[in-house]
């Protein structure tokens, strides 16, 4: 079955910007995600189709190849499709397999250059920072090419020797029945050359650890597992190749008062018996420090929920649109009463036709004895 146009899959024009492509992908990924459609196996294929389209169109280099040559151009590693046959580049076909087997995750570019690996870091945020947005400065450690030898691994002024085993190709072929299967050269490890006079700084590795300070602007509305990408702040690639990207995975800490539910926030608000029975205004402080006044209805029961529109979390794609604040009213039972309060509650009990017996003046042991012997019970009073 022929693949659909990637722009058609995401529902965007060919002139779409990177932001428009990302927005369309997020909406479709959420729509077709298996977790959102339990028991529906048909959405899995659509989800993979949407993800594949996004992985190509978000990458400027892949998108340029796709715009020029289509699906065949991507399959041919950027080469144009040939007439009367299919172009097959065995090195590209088996490149990822070989890299996986030998532990290298670098992606190859034209001319044997390899783009640097990506870096993933966890970015911890407070709930308030997620609601308002924040600017953070981070220290990122990454692999860099040696500044002394430029990443070649040789002593400055010297050149590496061409590998005799693979003659500089980095690949040797092993017979596998009808085919000669490529594998990484065992003589040079796939580099195509052998270092005979290593660089004293990096000891022939051509690599070293470096660090840099980056500033990231976190938009309002992010949530746990939101990914922020900083292009070109990953590991350095081979000399002349671009750096990888830095992916920041957001993790929002729990708040002691507010709980997040999508775009809404939930909190509890204690009220007294009098407030619950009579109703009236109650002042509340929101997550961002604003004061709002709630009108508690007369006769409110505990766990009644009041909604405060527009005081929840902002939408990541549209920060002007916010969720609501859901306030759960909790009617508190007093644990200690003043004499005046106790008198009032007893009067209330009389009005409700459920007057309790007068509180005995005896101690705890005397109360227990009265319960056992039946003294001060309604039955014993009638007999007296």
DSSP readout, 63-129?
Answer: HHHHHHHHHHHHHTTTPPPPTTS----HHHHHHHHHHHHTT--PEE-GGG-EEPPPEEEEEEE-HHH
Q: For domain 1-88, which architecture applies?
A: Orthogonal Bundle (1.10)
DSSP conformation class of 4:
P
Helix axes 42-57, 18-32, angle to 10 degrees: 170
Instruction: Check: CB of residue 11 under 8 Å from CB of residue 24.
Output: yes
pLDDT at 34: 73
Do strands 134-145 and 207-218 pair parallel, antiparallel, or not at all (unpaired)?
antiparallel
pLDDT at 380: 40
User: What pLDDT score does 182 carry?
Assistant: 77
Q: Is the pTM of this model over 0.85?
A: no
Asked if CATH classification 3.40.630.30 holds for the domain at 259-331, the reply, yes or no, is no
Domain boundaries, the chain: 1-88, 259-331, 339-383
What is the mean pLDDT of each successive set of 10 residues along the chain, which is 384 residues long? 81 87 89 77 80 88 78 59 39 46 44 80 96 96 91 86 82 67 81 86 88 95 94 90 94 95 95 91 95 94 95 92 95 86 83 58 43 43 39
* Contact in structure between 261 and 312 (CB atoms under 8 Å): no
Q: Closest Cα partner for 264 from 134, 131, 126?
A: 131
């Amino acid at each position: 079955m022929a693949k659909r146009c990637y722009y058609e899959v995401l529902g965007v024009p060919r002139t779409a910007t990177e932001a428009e492509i990302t927005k369309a992908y997020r909406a479709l990924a959420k729509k077709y995600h298996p977790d959102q459609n339990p028991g529906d196996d048909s959405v899995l294929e659509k989800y993979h189709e949407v993800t594949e389209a996004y992985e190509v169109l978000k990458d400027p280099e892949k998108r340029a190849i796709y715009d020029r040559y289509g699906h065949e151009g991507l399959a041919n590693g950027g080469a144009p499709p040939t007439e009367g046959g299919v172009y097959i580049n065995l090195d590209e076909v088996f490149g990822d397999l070989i890299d996986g087997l030998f532990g290298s995750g670098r992606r190859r570019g034209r001319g044997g250059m390899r783009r640097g690996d990506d870096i993933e870091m966890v970015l911890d945020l407070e709930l308030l920072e997620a609601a308002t947005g924040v600017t953070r400065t981070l220290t990122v450690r990454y692999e860099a090419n040696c500044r002394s030898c430029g990443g070649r691994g040789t002593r400055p002024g010297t050149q590496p020797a061409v590998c005799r085993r693979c003659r500089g190709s980095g690949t040797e072929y092993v017979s596998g029945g009808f085919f000669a299967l490529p594998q990484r050269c065992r003589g040079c490890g796939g580099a195509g050359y052998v270092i005979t006079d290593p660089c004293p700084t990096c000891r022939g590795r051509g690599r070293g650890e470096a660090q840099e300070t980056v500033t990231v602007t976190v938009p309002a509305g992010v949530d746990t597992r939101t990914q922020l990408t900083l292009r070109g702040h990953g590991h350095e690639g081979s000399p002349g190749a671009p750096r990888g990207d830095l992916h920041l995975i957001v993790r929002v800490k729990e708040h002691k008062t507010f709980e997040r539910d999508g775009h809404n926030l939930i909190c509890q608000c204690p009220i007294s018996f009098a407030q619950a029975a009579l109703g009236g205004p109650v002042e509340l402080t929101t997550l961002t420090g604003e004061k709002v006044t709630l009108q508690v209805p007369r006769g409110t029961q505990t766990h009644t929920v009041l909604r405060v529109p527009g005081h929840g979390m902002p939408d990541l794609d549209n920060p002007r649109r916010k969720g609501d604040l859901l306030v759960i009213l909790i009617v508190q039972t007093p644990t200690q009463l003043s004499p005046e309060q106790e008198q009032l509650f007893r009067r209330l009990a009389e009005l409700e036709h459920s007057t309790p017996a007068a509180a005995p003046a005896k101690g705890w042991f005397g109360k227990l004895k009265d319960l056992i012997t039946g003294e001060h019970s309604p039955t014993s009073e009638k007999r007296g």
